[in-house]
Amino acid sequence: MKNIKKSFKQHPKKIYYKNITIKNLKIQILNILKKKYKYTKNIKKYFLSNNGLYTLNNYIISKQEIYLNILNETDELIEINEYKKFKKNIFQIPYENKLVTVNEIIFNINNTFLVFEIVNNKINDFFIKSFSPLSILDKLMIKEISYIKHLII
């Protein structure tokens, strides 16, 4: 009998600090981190409409569905699995829409990624992205997350 192995695309986990808001961040946090850690930049364009979320990639517009699953939650952290799934390509942007350009700055801190999403030159969101099998309930992950927390506040 053959061994059949299904391969699933691993989506990174997002980890949010419950008690830290954008207002709690150090004023010059991005400049401080850029001097200390390697980082990459991505630009993402989304059309938001009453009909859903659309992405613009290489001049192709596609409708996306967002899936969200809470994996773990503590008093200080929430760990989620969130991903966008292609639904279909479209050839006409919905009449009522808003184009949102998101500039992502991703810092690599000990193979854990600290992500800042910038919209209109302001931090709109920040979170930790991890591909690690460890969860926020594991001591090693808690230690890594605590280190990052001290960097940003």
Residue 30 pLDDT grade (very low, low, confident, very high; cuts 50, 70, 90): very high
Q: How far apart are the first and last CA of the chain?
A: 56
What percent of the chain stands above pLDDT 90? 62
The pair of structure tokens assigned to 93 is: 């942007």
pLDDT digit string (tens) for 50-83? 988 998 888 888 999 989 999 999 999 999 998 8
Residue 90 located in a structural domain? yes
Does pLDDT of 1 surpass 80?
no
Residue 68 located in a structural domain? yes
Q: Which residues contact 61 (CB under 8 A, 6 or more apart)?
A: 47, 54, 55, 89, 90, 91, 93
Does pLDDT of 2 surpass 50?
no
What is the rounded distance in angstroms from the CA atom of residue 120 to the CA atom of residue 99? 12
Higher-confidence residue of 107 and 25: namely 107
For residue 4, the model assigns a pLDDT of 43
pLDDT digit string (tens) for 89-123? 988 888 899 999 999 999 999 889 999 999 998 99
Residue 63 corresponds to which amino acid?
K
Residue 60 located in a structural domain? yes
Write down the residue that tokens 């630009």 correspond to.
43
CA atoms within 13 A on the CB side of 1: 3
- The residue segments making up the domain with residue 64 are 27-111
What percent of the chain stands above pLDDT 70? 93
Residue 27 pLDDT grade (very low, low, confident, very high; cuts 50, 70, 90): confident
Residue 60 corresponds to which amino acid?
I
Residue 62 located in a structural domain? yes
Residue 121 located in a structural domain? no
Residue 94 located in a structural domain? yes
Residue 66 located in a structural domain? yes
What angle, rounded to 10 degrees, do the helices at 29-36 and 139-152 form? 120
Burial label for 15, CB within 10 Å (0-12, 13-18, 19+), is buried
Does pLDDT of 35 surpass 90?
yes
What is the rounded distance in angstroms from the CA atom of residue 71 to the CA atom of residue 88? 28
Number of domains in the chain: 1
Residue 9 pLDDT grade (very low, low, confident, very high; cuts 50, 70, 90): low
CB distance 33 to 39 below 8 Å: yes
